[in-house]
Structure 1
């Protein structure tokens, strides 16, 4: 059985984006902090996300040139949605007619970029779908977001580990991920690493 791990950047006051969903600040920082983030997503056996995050990532990563692109493209994906297989149309060239434009798009795909159109569509009960995915052996499942999807995972007590990169930035208000808890949730600190930019990586395990 594999674990479910949330990997997210977070402001000092506990938000993963501002109130409008903007989170460009999470792509700043020093090389060591960036390397930590790349390593965190590279060690996944499966990437999972909600429909909004899937649409955004499926439209970006397949043709992106970035240290994150390789693990985001080559590792299998699952999208949690009520939209059914239609959500896969967000991925480049998924069932597209072969026009010159789509041929150019396919040609620009990075290795593994086609995997977004092959993502598993999880449309059942959240806990049941997660249990089904956890039942496989291998590296951990990494949950990316969005905030509402991760809040649901946390509220249902489905998360085994949290890898949080906390930035030295206070937003004042924004989108949290722990706000749907109905009581205290104690976690065990596994590791902490401070980076030159002031960001601190904190890894916690569910107790």
Structure 2
């Protein structure tokens, strides 16, 4: 069974929405290696509809000469959780799973080497609630935005996690890895 690993760029005040705010910060060798390790351990990508619709045009037009991650994103099997999207024909190797269901995600984990999730806040909240996240990788940027979609909005269900690793990157970005509470 593969591990399900979530990757989020997040501000100090918890915003994950449209992370164009990461642009002023260096995406150096250490961060490249950290994200590369996440993708290298996965043979499936699981995305919510909104993230899929944002990623598909952005990644499908990139090649490895533009971004070393392009090969992973374009060639890896992608599974989209959506109750409104009927098909995902606009990006190579994409399949719509239908509405969220923990059993479909468990089956995906069982039949994969690893599952990578990026963005997809609503999906990630459901995965956490159902105990399906093995590693939560938060790349915390040293800024606040004051508004925007948060990973854990006010009134969200409580979660107890265990910090398994923490490292500091160039520009003051912290990579914190959480797993299920011990």
TM-score by length of 1: 0.75
Q: Does 1:10 align with 2:10?
A: yes
Higher strand share: 2
Please state whether the residue corresponding to 1:37 is helix, strand or coil.
Answer: helix
Distance between the aligned counterparts of 2:96 and 2:7, measured in 1? 21
1:130 maps to 105
Measured against aligned partners, the alpha-carbon deviations of 1:160-201 in whole angstroms (never above 9, x if no partner) come to 210111111111222112236433x22121111101210011
> Structure 1: where are the runs of 5+ without partners?
92-115
1:70 maps to 71
Distance between the aligned counterparts of 2:39 and 2:152, measured in 1? 21
Computing the radius of gyration over CA atoms, which structure comes out larger, 1 or 2?
1
Measured against aligned partners, the alpha-carbon deviations of 1:80-107 in whole angstroms (never above 9, x if no partner) come to 1123543x13x1xxxxxxxxxxxxxxxx
Within-5 A mapping of 1:86-125: 86=87, 88-89=88-89, 91=90, 116-125=91-100
CA gap 1:174/1:155 in 2 versus in 1, 3 angstroms? farther
CA gap 1:85/1:117 in 2 versus in 1, 3 angstroms? farther
Contact 1:78 1:119 in 2 (8 A): yes
2:134 maps to 160
Contact 2:43 2:112 in 1 (8 A): no
Distance between the aligned counterparts of 1:174 and 1:122, measured in 2? 27
Distance between the aligned counterparts of 1:122 and 1:68, measured in 2? 24
> Structure 2: where are the runs of 5+ without partners?
none
Count of aligned pairs: 175
1:25 maps to 21
Distance between the aligned counterparts of 1:37 and 1:12, measured in 2? 20
Measured against aligned partners, the alpha-carbon deviations of 1:23-62 in whole angstroms (never above 9, x if no partner) come to 2023432412243223323332211101121122111212
Moved more, 31-40 or 125-134: 31-40
Within-5 A mapping of 1:35-54: 35-54=33-52
Post-superposition offset of 1:4: 1.3
Following TM superposition, the consecutive aligned residue runs of length 4 or more in structure 1 with deviations greater than 4 angstroms are: none
Moved more, 194-203 or 53-62: 53-62
Distance between the aligned counterparts of 2:32 and 2:52, measured in 1? 22
CA RMSD of the aligned region, Å? 2.0
CA gap 1:84/1:12 in 2 versus in 1, 3 angstroms? closer
